[in-house]
Structure 1
């Protein structure tokens, strides 16, 4: 008796079952996604780190070879003369002291003021609250240089020019809006029931803020403080205009020291720029966990 073979009863040996083919496609798709992600990381990482490398390479290049053609990716005769020049320049240490003082005070003042403002916007309900919130945010829309003449006239009228106070007030003014909104979003994630429970237990409003809310908002406070510190550290135009030579911070101090009318000391300027960037980079690396938590806390309200 002869068996009857049908197409359903005969499967080609070279074709794997459908589930196995699907698993193979999934593995190929995962490998392709991984390779694409690594390519993107390398491309964007190289784009971001190339200026930093060029700073380092120029700082190690002798002044006579800076403008050599064709440009070289690696210095032919690396030297540390530019860094030695920085160590022998006492004016730079004065600019560094001014930057640290102004940036730290700006960060502390911004965190204190924005914490109370952000808490009031988040947990209090009163007439005009939303309008006031958007008014604070709208102040970020104006170019900071647009207000420079007005601030200069006000500080001159009150005798505050060439003082640390003028720098701290101007820096804090422009860091507050973002810090307030950042902390407001963080305070929104703190349950109102927790505050009500503390109030039922007899805690005063200030006790609730300082003993319960602020410890829970520590990542947001760190993120706001770091933002304000970087704002004060990197500012150029206000520090150049509102402060004299003895109160200037590092950005205008480096320009006045190494950039002249006839020539520019590029190796020294690049070395100084690299050195003054290290404190901010170290702060970001040390506090990145708090920074990411503070920036993303208000993204999703629990």
Structure 2
């Protein structure tokens, strides 16, 4: 075996070791906070500050999860967030899927400018636009309204989603639609029966991003919704924090319960995500 071959093999082996070492460290950094929250949520109230390295602490109990529903309106918060997030997800997907297709397939006046303006809206953080949005909501008399909250979430999520859907549609050959037109199919039928099934990975990713953005958003929800009986989950969790003390076991249990819907949605859409994460990377 030549020295150059041995050198290349050793060099590739060292790269593989470095890659795996980096991935292991990244996984530890990502999983450690979650395991810590799980550990705190399983501890009894009188053992919150006990130091222990075990994931399942001694005398582990699910009492904190039970108390989260008894002492606080956690079920109501979950319901409110689920309503807002589902509505925002559905409307965001409908707008993004159709608008992305129009920008990808049709030529019309103002197309390039429209895409540029959509992209410009992503440069401004949501907190910067909070004041004009709040004044608009007041003028429309829609404060403490889930509809207003869902509209804001949709308006902030569709710019990125439209660009992502357009990038995926660009990878689908136009010849598929042209063949359908020759056979007598309409634009809507070719889109619904041919293009949309091929775009399932991008649609799944759009739905996941839209739902997650609305589910975990706090700043806008805390401003638009201020009635105690209408709080969404992020705002409700913050209200668990007391001025002088906080029941960290119950708070951690609530945080874990908050993550469950997103985890379930992620698992259901996982088979589409690998293709969806590469949307727009290759043009066919």
* Both proteins in one fold, TM over 0.5: yes
CA contact (8 A) 1:182 1:294 kept: no
Aligned counterparts of 2:279 and 2:153: Cα–Cα separation in 1? 25
CA positional deviation for 1:232: 0.9
CA positional deviation for 1:130: 1.0
Which residue among 118, 121, 126 is the counterpart of 2:103?
A: 121
Q: Deviations over 1:141-172 (max 9, x none)?
A: 11101211211121122221111101110110
Does residue 53 of structure 2 align to residue 73 of structure 1?
A: yes
Aligned counterparts of 2:229 and 2:158: Cα–Cα separation in 1? 27
Where in structure 1 are there 5+ consecutive unaligned residues? 1-17
CA contact (8 A) 1:182 1:295 kept: no
CA positional deviation for 1:206: 1.6
Aligned counterparts of 1:262 and 1:44: Cα–Cα separation in 2? 35
Match of 1:43 in 2: 25
Match of 2:78 in 1: 96
What are the equivalent positions in structure 2 for 1:179-258 lying under 5 Å apart?
179-243=161-225, 244-256=227-239, 258=240
Aligned counterparts of 2:19 and 2:127: Cα–Cα separation in 1? 40
Aligned counterparts of 1:222 and 1:83: Cα–Cα separation in 2? 31
Q: Match of 1:88, SS?
A: helix
Aligned counterparts of 1:168 and 1:158: Cα–Cα separation in 2? 15
Which residue among 88, 91, 111 is the counterpart of 1:106?
A: 88
CA contact (8 A) 1:223 1:295 kept: yes
Q: Deviations over 1:149-199 (max 9, x none)?
A: 211121122221111101110110111111101101011011111112222
Aligned counterparts of 2:273 and 2:85: Cα–Cα separation in 1? 17
Does residue 251 of structure 2 align to residue 269 of structure 1?
A: yes
Compare 163-172 and 242-251 and name the one that shifted more.
Answer: 242-251
Q: Match of 1:296, SS?
A: coil
Where in structure 2 are there 5+ consecutive unaligned residues? none
Match of 1:291 in 2: 273
Which is greater in Rg? 1
RMSD value over aligned CA atoms? 1.9
Match of 2:143 in 1: 161
CA contact (8 A) 2:169 2:199 kept: yes
CA contact (8 A) 1:108 1:225 kept: yes
Distance 1:65 1:217, change over 3 A: same
Aligned counterparts of 2:162 and 2:268: Cα–Cα separation in 1? 23
CA positional deviation for 1:218: 1.4
Q: Match of 2:142, SS?
A: coil
CA positional deviation for 1:28: 3.7
Which residue among 122, 133, 138 is the counterpart of 1:140?
A: 122
Aligned counterparts of 2:134 and 2:10: Cα–Cα separation in 1? 63
